[in-house]
Amino acid sequence: MSRTHLAALLLCTAASSLLLSGCASSRQSEDGFFSRITPYRIEIVQGNVVTSEQAARVRPGLTRAQVRDILGTPLLADPFHADRWDYIFTIRRDGMPNQRRSVVVWFEGDALKAIEAPDLPSEREFVQGISLSRKKPQPRPLELTEAQIKALPAPARRDEPAAEAPAGPARSYPPVGD
C-alpha cells in the first residue's frame, strides 16, 4: 500500500469518527434536534373488550354458545385446557397508558361453571378511558356582557353626511360578442 493510499485511509477514518462522535453528542443533549423527533408508533388494539355490563349477563349454567354470544369469541381457547376460555384485551396508544384486562371463563362440560372478571370498567368508563380528548372545549359566549360593552371604545364621530352610492355601473364594459 502506498503512502498516499495510507494517508487517505487515515484521513477518511479520522473524518468519519469525528462525524459519528458529533451525532452521538447531539442525540444525548435534551434540547438537541434529535430529541424533538419521535418515531410514529402504531396504535395496537388486541383482543375482546369485555365490560362490566357484559360480565353481569354471564351466569353459571349458560352453554358455551350462549357465552360466546354475550362475550364474543375468546382470544385464547387452549386445546390442552378445554374447560377454560381467556378473553384478553390490550391497547397501546401514544400519549395514553397501556391497558390490559383479562377475563377467564371456566366450563364444566358444556355448562358455564365460573367467571373471573376483576376490575372491569363499564361501557361508559371504557369509552372515556380510550378517548384521546379528555376535556370538552368550553363554548364561547356569543354575546358581550354589560361590563364588556361598557369597556368598548366609543365610536368615532362623523360630522359629514355619508356619501350616496353612485347610481348605475361604475365602469362601462364592451359589448359581449355577437
What is the DSSP secondary-structure string of 27-84?
HHSTTSHHHH-------EEEE----HHHHHH--TT-BHHHHHHHH-S-SEE-TTSTTE
pLDDT band of 86, cuts 50, 70, 90: very high
Residue 98: pLDDT over 70: yes
Distances (CA, A) of 133 to 94, 121, 127: 13, 19, 11
- Residue whose cell numbers read 352610492: 165
Say what the pLDDT of residue 28 is.
52
Work out the burial of residue 84: count CB atoms within 10 Å of its CB; fewer than 13 is exposed, 13-18 middle, 19 or more buried.
middle
**Domains of the chain and any CATH numbers:** 44-130 (3.30.1450)
What percent of the chain shows pLDDT beyond 90? 22
* pLDDT, position 137: 65
Average of per-residue pLDDT across 79-98: 86
- Grid look-up 356582557 returns 145
pLDDT tens, residue by residue, 12-60: 787 777 666 665 544 455 566 666 777 777 888 888 889 999 999 999 9
Predicted structure pTM score: 0.52
DSSP 53: H
pLDDT greater at residue 76 or residue 162: 76
Average pLDDT, the chain: 80
Phi and psi torsions of 17, nearest 5°: -70, -35
Residue 67, SS3? helix
Residue 77 has pLDDT above 70, yes or no: yes
Could you give the CA distance from residue 178 to residue 174 in angstroms, rounded to a whole number? 12
pLDDT digits (tens, 9 = 90+) for 116-146: 988 888 888 888 877 766 556 677 778 888 9
Chain centroid to CA 68: how far?
A: 30
What integer pLDDT is reported at residue 111 of this predicted model? 93
Model confidence at 66: pLDDT above 90? yes
> What is the reported pLDDT for 143?
86
Cβ neighbourhood burial of 87 (10 Å; 0-12, 13-18, 19+): buried
Average pLDDT over residues 63-74: 92
How far is 177 from 175, CA to CA, in rounded Å? 6
Residue 103: other Cβ atoms inside 10 A: 23
- pLDDT value at position 128? 81
